[in-house]
Amino acid sequence: MNSKNNDEDIMESIRVPTGIPGFDEICEGGLLRNRTYLLSGTSGAGKTIFGLQYLYNGITKYGENAIYIATEERPEQVRETVKAFGWDFEALEEEGKLAILDACSTKIGVPSHEKYVDVRPFDMRSMMDQVIAMQEDIDAKRALVDGTTSIGFYLNDPAKIRIELLKLSTTLEILGLTSLMTCEVIDQNAVSRFGVESFVTEGTIMMYSTRAESLRVRSIEMYKMRGSNHSQSIHPYDITAAGIVVHPHEEIYTA
């Protein structure tokens, strides 16, 4: 093998393709390995679907196991939702390729029969202990924390939120995971809910659902990506029967 091919192999291993059609093209082939990215957007923008598609593609296209930390939705519901896209999460869990942490049921006071349950609502230490145990079980390469906003409300202090999210993102990186952490925004012009979340992550992906007369237009942007070049444009995307499809050669000017 000549040196050019060797270089290409190294570059490939540094990048973690999301496998989401069109998205990797706007960020030079994918996310940077072992880094944590914020996935920010308004309610219904498509953050959860994007994050779950990233995990599903990791397992089915790239042989990378995945951990999903569900703080906002019960795992039972998520398994049902993703069936619409043809994704069979139960089968992947049975094969030991996907592990889901139920960090939602305890918080809302309903019983959970999940294999992995966070028993103390929003105790960062106990959540990280669970993630470490899950990682020992399945040796994952990708993770999704969906999401950070309820953690933020529990801590209720931007300084604490900043340090706790930094601990979480750094722990995920040390565990060898390339991760997405979702973040709700209520103001289309804001990058995050508490104003600190994007500072503790290596990059920020923004998802928009903007009103254009009688339509809603979905668009996505790589807002920040430490250590990499990326598209500076806002690109439209659709949610189809097969999940999210980004249009990297089209631009939106009015997000």
Residues near Mg ion (CB under 5 A) are 47-48
Cβ 45 to ligand ATP, closest distance in Å?
4
Total chain residues near ligand ATP (CB under 6 A): 12
Q: At what angle do helices 47-62 and 75-83 cross, to 10 degrees?
A: 70
What phi and psi, each to the nearest 5 degrees, are found at residue 55?
A: -70, -50
In the complex with Mg ion, which residue's Cβ is closer, 51 or 58? Answer: 51
What phi and psi, each to the nearest 5 degrees, are found at residue 39?
A: -120, 100
Binding residues among 44-63 for ligand ATP as defined by CB under 6 A? 44-49
Write each residue from 58 to 97 as x if it is in contact with ligand ATP (CB under 6 A), else as -, in one continuous string. --------------x-----------x-------------
In the complex with ligand ATP, which residue's Cβ is closer, 141 or 193? Answer: 193
Binding residues among 99-128 for ligand ATP as defined by CB under 6 A? none
Rg, Å, the chain Cα set? 18
Q: In whole angstroms, give the CA distance from residue 221 to residue 231.
A: 8
Interface with ligand ATP, residue 244, by CB under 6 A: no
In the complex with Mg ion, which residue's Cβ is closer, 48 or 171? Answer: 48
Q: What letter does residue 252 receive in the DSSP assignment?
A: B
| Whole-number Cα distances in Å, 234 to 10, 17, 53, 223, 231 | 29, 19, 20, 9, 8
In the complex with ligand ATP, which residue's Cβ is closer, 52 or 59? Answer: 52
Check if the beta carbon of residue 41 is closer than 8 Å to that of residue 209. Answer: yes
Cβ 48 to ligand ATP, closest distance in Å?
3
In the complex with ligand ATP, which residue's Cβ is closer, 164 or 184? Answer: 184
